[in-house]
């Protein structure tokens, strides 16, 4: 695993130690920045399971991409297509990774280093490039 991948993984682990459900603050930020997305979670009373599942898929895809597993590209492209069918443009879909990064930066505060920021930016850009986003 590369140093950047290790930094992303360490930040994920640390956030998991600090927050019981990291998807909650991620979606709070997402809905604040993109309020038009909240109604897309209409199939559950509070959308909790969908949000947790989507967050998990996002993290798994990012980690698998960092590990060089080609299935991650297919996973992201499949989700990109699913989201396009419900009106989420590619640019907004890709922004979700940035929302995760920004939320984690806020949660970790002083523990978030320039190297961690660089690692996340590199990981996000690499995944988006690989998936044609």
pLDDT for residue 51: 72
User: pLDDT class for 132, splitting at 50, 70, 90?
Assistant: confident
What per-residue confidence (pLDDT) applies to 91? 77
Whether the Cβ atoms of residue 114 and residue 63 lie closer than 8 Å to each other: no
- DSSP 8-state code for residue 40: G
CA distances from residue 11 to 22, 32, 52 in whole angstroms, order as listed: 12, 23, 18
Query: 7-52: per-residue pLDDT in tens?
Result: 999 999 999 999 999 999 998 999 899 888 887 766 555 566 777 8
Q: Which domain holds residue 32?
A: 3-130
For 116, the token pair is: 């961690």
What's the pTM?
Answer: 0.85
Other CB atoms within a 10 A radius of the CB of residue 101 amount to 22
Reading the block at residue 28, the tokens are 């709070």
Question: In CATH, what number is assigned to the domain containing residue 104?
Answer: 1.10.490.10
The answer on pLDDT for 69 being more than 90 is: no
Confidence of residue 105 (pLDDT cuts 50, 70, 90): very high
Count of structural domains within the chain: 1
């Amino acid at each position: 695993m590369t140093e950047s991948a290790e930094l992303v993984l360490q930040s994920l682990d640390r956030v998991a130690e600090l927050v019981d459900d990291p998807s909650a603050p991620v979606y709070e930020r997402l809905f604040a920045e993109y309020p038009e997305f909240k109604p897309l979670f209409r199939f559950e009373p509070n959308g909790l399971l969908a949000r947790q599942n989507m967050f998990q898929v996002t993290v798994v895809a990012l980690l698998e991409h960092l590990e060089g597993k080609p299935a991650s590209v297919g996973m992201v492209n499949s989700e990109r297509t699913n989201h396009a069918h419900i009106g989420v443009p590619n640019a907004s879909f890709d922004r979700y990774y940035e929302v995760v990064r920004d939320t984690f930066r806020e949660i970790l505060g002083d523990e978030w280093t320039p190297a961690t920021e660089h690692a996340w930016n590199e990981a996000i850009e690499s995944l988006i490039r690989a998936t044609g986003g």
